[in-house]
A = this chain, B = another copy of it.
Amino acid sequence: MPTISYREALRQAMDEEMARDERVLLIGEEVAQYNGAYKVSRGLWDKYGDRRVRDTPITEGGFAGIGIGAAMTGLRPIVEFMTFNFSIQALDQIINNAAKMRYMSGGQFTLPIVFRGPNGPAAYLSSQHSQALAALFTHCPGLKVVHPATPYDAKGLLKSAIRDDNPVIFMEGELMYAWEGDVPEEEYTLPLGQADLKRTGQDVSIITFGKPLQTVTEAAARLEAEGIAAEIVDLRTLRPLDQATIRQSVQKTNRCVVVDESWPMCSVGSHVAWLVSNQCFDLLDAPVELVSGEDVPMPYNHTLELAALPSVEKVVQAVKAVLYLK
């Protein structure tokens, strides 16, 4: 199996789906001639031209709405946000139009549209450019929210997202673009809404998604050295949430730590932590712990920035806490 980057996996997914279905197009800032601010769309403009790969002005609200209108009438747009920090300007279009159009029309329209781009802090970018905003979207019915953490998942899930007839928020990560992994040469898709065990273990379930998977994986290795076998549940899709896989894991381990790099309040992390607390009440040997980003805007200084994020250390400590190891 070839080893490719997360970036290349996304590019392949878009390329294959554009080749497969002429109604798929890509719009966003710098996606065409510049090949994407993070080069995710490299080569697509060369291959598909002005019609199907479109640079837009810097008008997130406007071009998100344009994507929605196009999706309501038969196209299958992929709308790239240069980063999800800027998607807040499009949130009204996404929450009030994309997520509700089908419902309020009594099912008359489908909205096959993907909003994608990097989410979450990269490094040294300060507060306006370092936000993990999955909760804003996961809160809202009418959307699907996907947040893959490996090249394999990214490719298979993006292909499914593009084929899905619902609005899908597809969150990537600046720092993840360079991550590498095995991706089969043959075509494949992965179903939305299924979590994946990235590691099995019987001592504790660590539930996460997106970039913190790396932190969690490192933490699991460190724990293993101390004789603690962590199971890693990678949610992959945040809405709809795969509650069955979560439950199965905690049923086995009886202990759970959730790791989410966003702010703690009203986060995907705290929601999952409540779900586990509620659904596995009789099984839990310890309270469900949440390792989240600190509850502050992100500072520029890197030492502070790292302190504001989930770390291997914090995950290890949370695991020890649920195991009642000091």
Interface residues of A (CB under 8 A from B): 61, 85, 88-89, 91-92, 95-96, 99-100, 103-104, 126-128, 131, 135-136, 138-142, 239, 241, 262-268, 270-271, 273-275, 277-279, 281, 284, 286-290, 295-297, 299-300
Closest Cβ of chain B to A124, distance in Å, is 13
Closest Cβ of chain B to A33, distance in Å, is 26
Whether B103 contacts A297 by the Cβ 8 Å rule is yes
Q: Collect the chain B residues with CB atoms within 8 Å of residue A88's CB.
A: 91-92, 95-96
Whether B96 contacts A85 by the Cβ 8 Å rule is yes
In the complex, A145→B247 CA distance in Å?
A: 33
In the complex, A37→B107 CA distance in Å?
A: 32
Whether A92 contacts B89 by the Cβ 8 Å rule is yes
The one of B85, B290, B295 in contact with A274, judged by C-beta atoms closer than 8 angstroms, is B290
Whether A104 contacts B127 by the Cβ 8 Å rule is yes
Number of copies: 2
List 5 A–B pairs whose Cβ atoms lie within 8 Å, in order of A's numbering. A85-B96, A91-B91, A139-B263, A142-B297, A278-B287
Q: Collect the chain B residues with CB atoms within 8 Å of residue A275's CB.
A: 270
Closest Cβ of chain B to A21, distance in Å, is 28
In the complex, A141→B130 CA distance in Å?
A: 13
Chain B residue with minimal CB distance to A99? B297
Q: Collect the chain B residues with CB atoms within 8 Å of residue A284's CB.
A: 281
In the complex, A140→B266 CA distance in Å?
A: 9
Whether A288 contacts B274 by the Cβ 8 Å rule is yes
Q: Collect the chain B residues with CB atoms within 8 Å of residue A268's CB.
A: 265-266
The one of B92, B95, B100, B288 in contact with A278, judged by C-beta atoms closer than 8 angstroms, is B288
In the complex, A299→B106 CA distance in Å?
A: 9
Whether A274 contacts B270 by the Cβ 8 Å rule is yes
In the complex, A262→B295 CA distance in Å?
A: 22
Q: Collect the chain B residues with CB atoms within 8 Å of residue A270's CB.
A: 266, 270-271, 274-275
The one of B140, B273, B288, B296 in contact with A103, judged by C-beta atoms closer than 8 angstroms, is B296
Whether A138 contacts B289 by the Cβ 8 Å rule is no
Whether A297 contacts B139 by the Cβ 8 Å rule is no
Closest Cβ of chain B to A237, distance in Å, is 12
In the complex, A279→B287 CA distance in Å?
A: 8
Chain B residue with minimal CB distance to A89? B92
Whether B297 contacts A287 by the Cβ 8 Å rule is no
Closest Cβ of chain B to A261, distance in Å, is 13
The one of B91, B271, B287, B288 in contact with A267, judged by C-beta atoms closer than 8 angstroms, is B271
Q: Collect the chain B residues with CB atoms within 8 Å of residue A277's CB.
A: 273-274, 277-278, 287-288
Q: Collect the chain B residues with CB atoms within 8 Å of residue A135's CB.
A: 135, 139, 266
Q: Collect the chain B residues with CB atoms within 8 Å of residue A61's CB.
A: 89
In the complex, A144→B297 CA distance in Å?
A: 14
Q: Collect the chain B residues with CB atoms within 8 Å of residue A131's CB.
A: 95
Q: Collect the chain B residues with CB atoms within 8 Å of residue A126's CB.
A: 104
Q: Which 8 A-B pairs have the closest CB atoms?
A: A277-B277, A274-B274, A281-B287, A135-B266, A88-B92, A103-B297, A278-B287, A273-B274
